[in-house]
Amino acid sequence: MSETSALDKTRSDAQDDVIAVRQKLTALSADQIDLILTGARSHYAWQDRPVSDEQLTEIFDISKMGPTSMNTCPVRIVFVRSDEGKDKLAKSLKPANVPKVMSAPVTAIIAYDTGFWTELPKLFPHEDRRHFFEGKTQHIEDTAFRNSTLQGAYFMIAARAIGLDVGAISGFDNAVVDQEFFDGTTVKSNFLCNLGYADETALFQRLPRFEFDDVCKIV
């Protein structure tokens, strides 16, 4: 089979796969949407229940399929579970966030690799696009940060989808996390996300949200 024929078959198979998914399920139910977004909450306290390696792998395997520009996939994740890891992470935290992290079964460091573009021959194999990034420091940083943030959002939705709760944290010193976990690498931290089974007794009322007409327009 020629290279062109092989590519055509790959594209045809991909199109068939999407059609098959749509034939099985055209939309999530209201209850399913409640679980991942509309009825879900950010959590601050945790039950003493473990999160398994298998669950962490499942979350990643779901979230990695979310779209990123040019399939750059810059997110890198460190799952902090050990006491030693939590102690290192605590050095970076604002005081109010220390108990949230120390009591969580797992805290994920959602990070990004500014060397992501060197992996494009693997991730975007039909065309070499490394030249879009080579030597362009600000473009690399913007692309990595933006797309790792997207991937972090997919990560949180995936965690909720498999029955876990999440609590994202931005109240920490990125430089300290980078020193403790990524020193000497091209990886930088973006945000933290606690994972586990929530202790709902720590929740307060849901905060207000904008209405569509407050912040959206159709032109």
Q: 187-206, pLDDT tens digit by residue?
A: 999 999 999 999 999 999 99
pLDDT, residue 47, reads: 96
Task: List, for residues 107-147, the tens digit of each pLDDT value.
Answer: 999 999 999 999 999 999 989 999 999 999 999 999 999 99
Nearest to 14 by CA among 65, 59, 90, 77: 65
pLDDT, residue 22, reads: 87
Task: List, for residues 158-191, the tens digit of each pLDDT value.
Answer: 999 999 999 999 999 999 999 999 999 999 999 9
**Mean pLDDT across the chain:** 96
pLDDT, residue 111, reads: 98
CATH topology for 40-202?
Answer: NADH Oxidase (3.40.109)
pLDDT, residue 1, reads: 64
* Residues 6 or more apart in contact with residue 20 via CB below 8 angstroms: none
CA R_g for the chain: 20
How far is it, in rounded angstroms, from Cα 91 to Cα 95?
10
- pLDDT of 8 > 90? The answer is no
- pLDDT of 94 > 80? The answer is yes
